[in-house]
A = this chain, B = another copy of it.
Amino acid sequence: MTAELICVGTELLLGNIVNTNGAYIAQKCADLGLSMYYQSVVGDNMRRLCKCFRAAMKRSDVVILCGGLGPTQDDLTKEAVAKVLKRELVEDKKSRRHIEKFMKQYLRNTPEKTITQNNWKQALIPEGAIAVENANGTAPGIIVEEGEKVVILLPGPPGELIPMFENQIYPYLHKRQPEIISSRTLKICGIGESQAETDIRDLIQRQKNPTVATYAKPGEVHIRLTARAADEEAAQKLIEPVARELRNRFQDKVYTEEEGKTLEAVVVELLKSRGLTVTTVESCTGGALSARIVDVPGASDVLKQGFVTYSNKAKRKLVKVKKSTLKEQGAVSRKCAKEMAEGGAGAAGADGALSVTGFAGPEGGTDQYPVGTVFIGCTFKGKTRVKECHFNGDRSSVRAQAVVNALVLLRQCILEDSPADIKKTSSSSE
């Protein structure tokens, strides 16, 4: 089956936003074994949108449109689809109730008092279509089955589109595919993409089913194995030997093979399984590290508190960094990172601590430690390690890399210093 994507929105044609939905949906379609030959972007204009959609319906089996489902007059996507498919727009009762509930919740936070009329427009769907609930917004997604073809309409904001696709559209499309495509991703940390690719070049070239592909993520490399087979079990049989070979080559650099599991989730699990708590002491990352750990549901079992020690005074007062260290070595130094971690663990009464101090830029930096230099400290059970990193990129990029590298260091320390069999007996999670 072939799929085609139409992204709707004048803001894309004006270059105000980057079309990340395009890459996301293309990747998912590839996972599903759908062949995509065309993507288009078209503005909020009825005539051109209809023209684009008509051409797509002629040449593709699955046509996905994203954007233009909102409450405003600009939002024309489903009107265009209804027009081309010659269907009336009718109100979907369930969607209306969802909008009402969602908006009532929303209105509690604002001085606005009533749900404006234009919101109800979002409950309209083409006659005979399937409304897809939007957990994170008001506009439902829509599936229209038109003969052998399928039209799928999705809301534009990635925060609404992605969960809807993962939970509802992907399973729907998966069912329509006769041959299944199954993939497994081995997620690897602590190694760069070009090195990873070099290490497995023979597999990439030799393997046809499953195929082997590498994807670089900030601070991580994901290796995806994708097999085509009659059913899931047959696909897994093809995948397993290659996965085993990869595990042999990368050893404990492979932190998970579970879809949707993040590095921070793995770290939280490791801590939980050993009954350990950790605290964070952050300078240049300013809370981004603790925020990422707290993003994991249940993180409260392992992280009770954290410190943002942005100024030298805060480093001294909150986590007892020595005045002499700051004076002689500076706040961006191996010694300061060590003292931040050790002092943080003490102040929080935690089993361990992770510290980050560096020059994120654009200002700051010294000859010895230019912008991009970051020291990451990790202490557990009296043993402290400090890693010196040198990152490229702007302020945001340096900070993001520092966060990932801190998580990688934490994982490494737990694995090496607290093997799984030495568990604290006090842990409630065991």
Contact = CB atoms under 8 A, between A and B. Distances in A.
B304 A307 contact: no
A45 B36 CA distance: 12
Oligomeric state, in number of copies? Answer: 2
Interface string A12-37: 11111111101111111110000011
Given A15-B25, A26-B14, A102-B392, A311 B300 contact: yes
Contact of A291 (B10, B204, B287): B287
Interface in A103-122: 105-106, 108-112, 116-119
A286 B306 contact: yes
A15 B26 contact: yes
Interface in A84-118: 102, 105-106, 108-112, 116-118
A171 interface: no
A330 interface: no
Interface in A194-221: 194-195, 197-198, 201, 204, 213-216, 218
Nearest to A14: B30
Interface string A143-178: 000000000000001010001000000000000000
A49 to B, nearest CB: 10
B30 A194 contact: no
A280 interface: yes
A396 interface: yes
A92 to B, nearest CB: 18
Nearest to A289: B287
Interface of A is mostly: mixed
A221 B130 CA distance: 30
A282 interface: yes
A288 B394 CA distance: 19
Contact of A109 (B14, B310, B389): B389
Interface residues of A, number: 121
Nearest to A362: B297
Contacts of A420: none
B310 A306 contact: yes
B136 A195 contact: no
B363 A297 contact: yes
Interface stretch (A69-77, A244-252, A334-342, A377-385): A69-77
A194 B305 contact: no
Interface stretch (A185-193, A233-241, A320-328, A421-429): A185-193
B309 A305 contact: yes
A179 interface: no
Contacts of A111: 190
B16 A194 contact: no
B310 A194 contact: no
Q: Which of A28, A45, A290, A311 has the most CB of B within 10 A?
A: A290
Contact of A40 (B40, B119, B163, B397): B40
Contacts of A22: 12, 15, 18-19, 41
B294 A299 contact: no
B280 A294 contact: no
Interface string A48-82: 10001000000000000000001111100000000
25 contacts: A10-B213, A13-B30, A13-B39, A15-B30, A16-B23, A18-B20, A19-B19, A38-B41, A71-B193, A73-B201, A74-B213, A108-B388, A108-B389, A109-B390, A110-B192, A118-B198, A280-B287, A284-B294, A287-B290, A288-B291, A295-B396, A295-B399, A297-B361, A298-B363, A305-B307
Given A280-B308, A287-B294, A294-B310, 18 more contacts: A15-B26, A15-B27, A15-B28, A38-B52, A39-B42, A110-B190, A110-B191, A110-B192, A111-B190, A116-B194, A159-B400, A286-B294, A291-B399, A295-B399, A297-B361, A299-B310, A304-B311, A305-B307
